A and B are shown apart, each in its own frame.
Chain A
Amino acid sequence: MAWVTINRNEPVVDPKAPPVLGEAVRVKIRSFFDRYETKRAVLLPALHIVQDALGHVPWQAMVEIADLLEIHPSDVIDTISFYTHFWTHPKGEKVITVCRSISCEVMGGAAVLEELKKQLKIDEHETTKDGKYSLVTEECLAGCDNAPCLLINEKLHKHVKPQDVAKLLAEANNDRIAVPRSALFDASTLSFAAASKTNGALLGTTSDVREMREAD
């Protein structure tokens, strides 16, 4: 057995690098502090905010979140790596999630996945070179009655056949959700979207942020 050791003493974050979290993002994270007893509890909202703003949560953002919430960066990586929702490397503008569970498998989901891999020229959990699409698989998308199905961002595509894939990818609004926002939608995120729009540096990637911007 080869003696292979990963060296964890080497830092991945340059302490002198400029911060990746803009002031708008920090303000937004701080606005959650009052809602919880501890700052630690703001970790999940903070990760959502950062991922919405940057598209993914890079190493440096983890350290900055940890500093904001007064926790150790290891607590941040602990939580991030638990949830597949959070990305630690750049995510495409649109994320295609293919169901790999039993109903979709029976109805030909595997062929759809293969076709997607072929056309996008990427493997699972990778991003295309132009940064447009990322491809992941999930256990069940709760759309078994419409199998095989896949998600593009949050839009569910039903009864997808391998021959439909090319058309689906070419369509510009393939991630557009027609359903109106629920009353639980946090109105304050709208002003956040406005702030991030003026900031300009923040790259909106999920349909949430795009919608927020359009609603503005």
Chain B
Amino acid sequence: MPKITIDNQEIECCNGVPVLQAALEAGRDIPHYCYHPGLSVVASCRLCLMEMMMPNPKTQELQWSPKLVPSCQTPVRDGMVVRFDSERVRQSQATCMEFFLLNHPLDCPVCDQAGECHLQDYSFKFGKPESRMVDQKLVNPKKDIGPNTLLYQDRCVMCTRCVRFTDEISGTHELCMVNRGSRTEIDVFPGRPLDNPLQGNVVDICPVGSLLDKDFLFKRRVWELKGTPSICPGCATGCAIRIDHANDKVYRLKPRFNPKVNQWWMCDEGRFGFKYVHNKKRIRSPLVRRGYETLTPSWEDIPEIVRFRLEEHVREKGAAKVAAVLSPFMACEEAWLLARFVREIAPQSVLAMGPVPMEGEDQFFPVGAKGDAVRFTILKEKCPNRRGVEMVLHAAGGDIVTFEQFTERSGKGDFSAAWIVGGYPKPWVDKNTAKMGANFELLVLQDLFVNELMAGAAIVLPSCAWVEREGSFVNAAGLIQSFERAIDPPDTARRDGQYLYEIAGLPGLYTGERVRERMAEALPAFAKAYAAPELPVHAH
């Protein structure tokens, strides 16, 4: 690994990375707009300029180069000596910042980016407090460039990250630069708006408030939001995301860097797919039916009721008459707790995998890319944890069936008691499944939304959305990733993990890690969940 010296401090860095990347990784705050590690290097913003030690061509004596060099375009070389902490570099940064702000409207009070804006941060840290611009500022109207994105041209610093994103990552080429020089603008061809499935990322990589998300526009100031690391449940890819929430409400999802899965990106389907969390039609409290009575017992009584009813049933009908359907939306821990409990009560019970939603075809980006050229994938399997639940089922052993086999066998009257877990964000109970509800004498339904199965259910347990739970998902590539709880469940609902933990009769409070420790005895892979490395603090 090459060693370079930045401001008299020797650092070790990865081979072939630009000096800027090495400096950021060493914890330095080097201003930059156009450089993004996931995109090609254009060196156009001139903010990351540095001084470099070079041999004088005449005397071969090492001296500081007469001109400043862009650090984003200069790859590291062993023994390289550079400096950012010099009067010339600081002067250049201040001058650049002054140019960036020439035509900037300074409308931070109404700008969504304020608080996470690199024009603000850099002008505070590297710029000058006043502008010497005396002429009229250029005023450009806003542009509606797509169904989800708004472009504020006068805040733009022309870093062209968004244009390079549509060229290199999504491969859809909607964005372009029109005109030239100081009149350059970002634009689309009229009538060909920015509407590709990855377009939301241009808002994330915009270092200023130029590209804004219509969905989040004017909803919240960003400093009021709290970010919680999580995993996107939209498809089996399992992108690392951050949930931005305040007062138990999710406002937006942002991608989190994960070199093994999604790099820096996420798709729009995942980004805007959290709306169901705040749907009013969610099941909010547990229900228990006894004869013609419907009771809403307290959560303290639920473990006893569930255990008693199931044990009673097993005594009367036998253990082989019991089945449990695990949903691919469950976390591995929840699936394991439920499978463990059902097998404890009824050792010969049948475990089934719930329906796995499939939509369309797998999509690869850039559009048309194959093999190694693929930078991002949206899978047709629209659930986060089929593989994880399969691992749990496999470890549980015994009679494991598919959902089709389960439907067929329940039609024949093989099961008299069933525990069915839903948790699907979209309606999942089709006609066949709805009819199946009448086959069971004892049906425990654990689901997110009111559906047809509820009519025949003896016990209804509210399920929670993934933002309210914690645990781990196993993605299509077999990577185990844990996610944290961001918000509290609505009203009297309780986290699935917590009540399953109590029903299973385990001591203390449920945490994903605690359950994974127990799971690791049978499933050693769960001893350690994969955690993506943190990005350098000042990288963006």
Q: Are B193 and A77 in contact (CB under 8 A)?
A: no
Q: Are A74 and B192 in contact (CB under 8 A)?
A: yes
Q: Are B142 and A75 in contact (CB under 8 A)?
A: no
B174 surroundings in chain A (CB, below 8 A): 72, 74
B188 surroundings in chain A (CB, below 8 A): 8, 74
Q: Are A9 and B178 in contact (CB under 8 A)?
A: no
Q: B146, B172, B177, B179: which contacts A9 (Cβ < 8 A)? A: B146
Judged by a CB distance under 8 angstroms, whether A4 is at the interface is yes
Q: In whole angstroms, how far apart are the Cα atoms of A196 and B163 in the complex?
A: 37
Q: In whole angstroms, how far apart are the Cα atoms of A3 and B217 in the complex?
A: 14
Interface residues of B in 170-198 (CB under 8 A from A): 172-180, 187-193
- Contact A82-B143, Cβ < 8 Å, known A12-B190, A74-B192: no
Q: Are A82 and B180 in contact (CB under 8 A)?
A: yes
Residue of B nearest to A12 (CB): B190
Judged by a CB distance under 8 angstroms, whether A87 is at the interface is no
Q: Are A8 and B190 in contact (CB under 8 A)?
A: yes
- Contact A6-B189, Cβ < 8 Å, known A72-B172, A74-B176, A81-B179: no
Q: In whole angstroms, how far apart are the Cα atoms of A5 and B150 in the complex?
A: 9
Judged by a CB distance under 8 angstroms, whether B141 is at the interface is yes
Q: In whole angstroms, how far apart are the Cα atoms of A180 and B363 in the complex?
A: 57
B147 surroundings in chain A (CB, below 8 A): 9
Judged by a CB distance under 8 angstroms, whether A171 is at the interface is no
Q: B144, B172, B180: which contacts A81 (Cβ < 8 A)? A: B180
Q: In whole angstroms, how far apart are the Cα atoms of A5 and B178 in the complex?
A: 17
Q: Are B141 and A10 in contact (CB under 8 A)?
A: no
A73 surroundings in chain B (CB, below 8 A): 189, 192
Q: In whole angstroms, how far apart are the Cα atoms of A63 and B191 in the complex?
A: 11
Q: Are A8 and B179 in contact (CB under 8 A)?
A: no
Q: In whole angstroms, how far apart are the Cα atoms of A77 and B107 in the complex?
A: 30
Judged by a CB distance under 8 angstroms, whether A27 is at the interface is no
Q: A9, A12, A63: which contacts B193 (Cβ < 8 A)? A: A9
Q: How far is the CB of B528 from chain A (nearest CB, A)?
A: 45
Dominant SS at the A interface? mixed
Q: In whole angstroms, how far apart are the Cα atoms of A74 and B193 in the complex?
A: 10
Give the contact-size bracket for chain A. 20 to 34
A74 surroundings in chain B (CB, below 8 A): 173-176, 187-189, 192
Q: How far is the CB of A214 from chain B (nearest CB, A)?
A: 35
Residue of A nearest to B142 (CB): A5
Judged by a CB distance under 8 angstroms, whether B4 is at the interface is no
Judged by a CB distance under 8 angstroms, whether A216 is at the interface is no
- Contact A10-B173, Cβ < 8 Å, known A77-B178, A81-B179, A81-B180: no
A62 surroundings in chain B (CB, below 8 A): 189
Residue of B nearest to A9 (CB): B193
Judged by a CB distance under 8 angstroms, whether B49 is at the interface is no
Judged by a CB distance under 8 angstroms, whether B94 is at the interface is no
Judged by a CB distance under 8 angstroms, whether A13 is at the interface is yes
Residue of A nearest to B193 (CB): A9
B177 surroundings in chain A (CB, below 8 A): 78, 82
Judged by a CB distance under 8 angstroms, whether B353 is at the interface is no
Judged by a CB distance under 8 angstroms, whether B145 is at the interface is yes
B187 surroundings in chain A (CB, below 8 A): 8, 74, 77
Q: Are A1 and B107 in contact (CB under 8 A)?
A: yes
Interface residues of B in 414-464 (CB under 8 A from A): none
Q: Are A75 and B176 in contact (CB under 8 A)?
A: yes
Residue of B nearest to A82 (CB): B180
Q: In whole angstroms, how far apart are the Cα atoms of A74 and B105 in the complex?
A: 27
Query: For B107, B177, B192, B193, which residue has the most chain A Cβ atoms within 10 angstroms?
Result: B192
Per-residue interface assignment for chain B, residues 398 to 425, with 1 indicating a CB less than 8 Å from any chain A CB and 0 otherwise: 0000000000000000000000000000
Q: How far is the CB of B64 from chain A (nearest CB, A)?
A: 36
11 A-B interface contacts by CB (under 8 A): A1-B105, A1-B107, A5-B143, A5-B144, A6-B143, A10-B191, A13-B190, A62-B189, A72-B172, A74-B175, A74-B188
Other A-B pairs, 15, CB within 8 Å; known A74-B189, A81-B180? A3-B142, A5-B141, A5-B142, A5-B143, A5-B150, A6-B144, A7-B144, A8-B187, A11-B191, A13-B191, A72-B192, A74-B176, A74-B188, A76-B189, A82-B180
